[in-house]
Chain A
Amino acid sequence: MKYEVRFSGSGGQGIILASVILGTAAAIYENKETVQSQAYGPEARGGASKADVIISDEPVGYPKAREIDAMVCLSQKAAKKYITSLKKGGIVIIDSDFVDIPESKKYKLFKLPMSSTTLDKMGKLIALNIVSLSALVSITKIISHEALEKAITDSVPKGTESFNIEAALIGKTLAETAK
């Protein structure tokens, strides 16, 4: 079994951290063969940014995603650019506050109002990456929510653990209500 995930958006949204957390959860807490890689531009904010996680039972050779099973899109530009790399029947999770793509038989589309919900429940947008990561985990079941929480605790700055765990719960609830 090989599962390819892509997080995409613009620089500064925290999608690389989201991919690192997913990779850590799969590699360390679920003992899967895992490779995480990323591509971004030279600017600190803005610009197209993507991060791939490949989770497999076998060692992973080529480290970039080519037939994506599940994708998170936090910007319209990213959604447009990467939708063609999605496997037939793959999962697309978009932030419906800022991204809009048409329904299609080619993929399963999840439109989640992630930005407005994050802002509403947490008072700031900084945890959008964790919300979207948790929504992805909840929809794909690629790792357990427990493994996700452990990896979040490992990866986020000290003192922000409970804040981010709360964000993960918001993402989970969002995904469950969308189903």
Chain B
Amino acid sequence: MTGSKFEFIQGNIACAKGAAYAGCSFFGGYPITPSTEIAEYMSEYLPKNGGKFIQMEDEIASLGSIIGAALTGAKTMTSTSGPGFSLMQELIGYACIAEVPVVIVDIMRGGPSTGLPTSPAQSDLLQAKWGTHGDHPTIALVPSSVEEMFTETVRAFNLAEYFRTPVLVLGDEIIGHMREKIRIPDPGEIQIINRTVPDNSGICPLPYASDSGKPACIPNFGKSRFHVTGLNHDITGFPTMDPAIVARENERILAKIYEQREIVDKWEEIECKDADILMLSVGSAARAAEEAVKTLRNKGIKAGLFRPLTLWPFPKDTFVKYAERAKYIIVPEMNLGQLKTVAERFTKRSKIIPVNLVNGEPISPEHIISVTNYLNI
């Protein structure tokens, strides 16, 4: 812990510091509450540290700018909230098929539309999964604390670079704006993954040829020709309509992530092993769920919390293991039942009890506990 420093900072600032730690050198964005502090921090940090910050005209251009910068070799990020996230959907698909590593932070707020700019919500959980069209891989990480805003942002960069794919970080107004004490890790303390680079020639003739799930390197910008397109393409990067190649490549960009679950999966389980009441919750709602679990355990009720830190792909195997033996699955979330649909998909026997709030207020532990009063446990 030598030289390490404790700081009392906002989740959004921890996110920006995580990006800096991971080596982010380009940020393109458009300010929007409750994510603006991320852009503010990067606008000061990057120019002083050899990086570039650019405020774009809107969120479509913001994601376009970081996709372009990522293709030149930079680690890139943008941050937004629901309305901006909606605008980014088309280019998220582009980054998926063109296999461009970018990090997109969405600090969720009340919606739909302009909604409640300064209030918390978890309104984009399913948009993160299915917002862009076509079958595409999705990695979405959901931090629950200021410390996790730092560590999960670092992990987002690592996964983006490793898989050559966009990675989403879903914060919410509470996690983004609240302050907690964190220790900024020393350099080297958290492993940083960098993308595969071509050999000294800088040439990479087959930028879409993968080696057992590991994507090929991105050619060095300026040294090698590189065709990048949103059309289906072959291993050279040029468009193709060959059904066999189109099918293979569409399946490959999913398989590279979904068949390497040990790299991408991450969850926290609290008292799940003997839980009669299993809670499934993420982000700030999970903090209330965790307190509810503690209170219920003190009353002798076997409650537990399953909290995915990687929400997409959903860590279904472990969830199913606990869901199978639980009598009730409680799903607290600040929306009208998005995570509930996931619980329903992977639960056969247990009764699912949703706990929803969309009034701009956070879900409290008491709210969650109140639904357990009449359960037959």
Contacts from A to B (Cβ < 8 Å): 20, 23-24, 27-28, 33-42, 60-64, 66
B364, A63: Cβ atoms closer than 8 Å = no
Which 8 A-B pairs rank lowest in CB-CB distance, beginning with the nearest? A27-B181, A37-B178, A36-B179, A61-B291, A27-B8, A24-B8, A62-B291, A42-B117
Q: Which residue of B lies closest to A151 (CB)?
A: B8
Interface SS of A by simple majority: mixed
| A-B residue pair count with CB separations less than 8 angstroms | 61
- Once A28-B6, A66-B366 are accepted as A-B contacts, the answer to whether A41 and B118 lie under 8 Å apart by CB is yes
B118, A39: Cβ atoms closer than 8 Å = yes
- The residues in B between 66 and 87 inclusive whose CB is less than 8 angstroms from any CB of A are none
Distance in Å: Cβ of A83 to nearest Cβ of chain B: 18
Query: 23 A-B Cβ contacts within 8 A?
Result: A27-B181, A28-B7, A28-B8, A33-B181, A34-B180, A34-B181, A35-B178, A35-B179, A36-B180, A37-B174, A37-B177, A37-B179, A39-B119, A42-B33, A42-B117, A61-B287, A61-B365, A62-B291, A62-B362, A62-B364, A62-B365, A63-B287, A64-B362
Contact partners of A39 in chain B: CB under 8 A: 118-119
Contacting residue for A63 out of B7, B178, B366, CB 8 A: B178
Contacting residue for A28 out of B181, B284, B287, CB 8 A: B181
Q: B288 interface residue, CB < 8 Å from A?
A: yes
Contacting residue for B179 out of A20, A33, A40, A42, CB 8 A: A20
Interface SS of B by simple majority: mixed
A138 to B365, CA, bound (A): 31
Q: B152 interface residue, CB < 8 Å from A?
A: no
Contact partners of A66 in chain B: CB under 8 A: 364, 366
Q: B124 interface residue, CB < 8 Å from A?
A: no
A64 to B357, CA, bound (A): 16
A35 to B178, CA, bound (A): 7
Contact partners of B180 in chain A: CB under 8 A: 27, 34-36, 60
Chain B 318-357: CB-based contact to A (< 8 A → 1; otherwise 0): 0000000000000000000000000000000000000000
Contact partners of B364 in chain A: CB under 8 A: 62, 64, 66
Contact partners of B7 in chain A: CB under 8 A: 28
Contact partners of B362 in chain A: CB under 8 A: 62-64
Q: Which residue of B lies closest to A19 (CB)?
A: B179
Q: Which residue of A lies closest to B178 (CB)?
A: A37
Q: B290 interface residue, CB < 8 Å from A?
A: yes
B177, A38: Cβ atoms closer than 8 Å = yes
Distance in Å: Cβ of A102 to nearest Cβ of chain B: 27
Distance in Å: Cβ of A156 to nearest Cβ of chain B: 15
Q: Which residue of B lies closest to A64 (CB)?
A: B362
Contact partners of B6 in chain A: CB under 8 A: 27-28
Q: Which residue of B lies closest to A155 (CB)?
A: B8
Contact partners of A27 in chain B: CB under 8 A: 6, 8, 180-181
Distance in Å: Cβ of B183 to nearest Cβ of chain A: 11
Contact partners of B288 in chain A: CB under 8 A: 61-62
Contact partners of A60 in chain B: CB under 8 A: 180
**Which of B6, B178, B287, B294 has the most chain A CB within a 10 Å cutoff?**
B178
Contact partners of B287 in chain A: CB under 8 A: 61-63
Contacting residue for A36 out of B119, B178, B284, B365, CB 8 A: B178
A63, B284: Cβ atoms closer than 8 Å = yes
A23 to B178, CA, bound (A): 11
9 A-B pairs besides A20-B179, A39-B119, A63-B362 with CB distance below 8 A are A28-B8, A34-B181, A36-B179, A36-B180, A40-B118, A42-B33, A61-B291, A62-B288, A62-B365
Distance in Å: Cβ of B153 to nearest Cβ of chain A: 19
Contact partners of B291 in chain A: CB under 8 A: 61-62
A63 to B172, CA, bound (A): 13
**Which of B6, B174, B290 has the most chain A CB within a 10 Å cutoff?**
B174
**Which of B33, B118, B294 has the most chain A CB within a 10 Å cutoff?**
B118
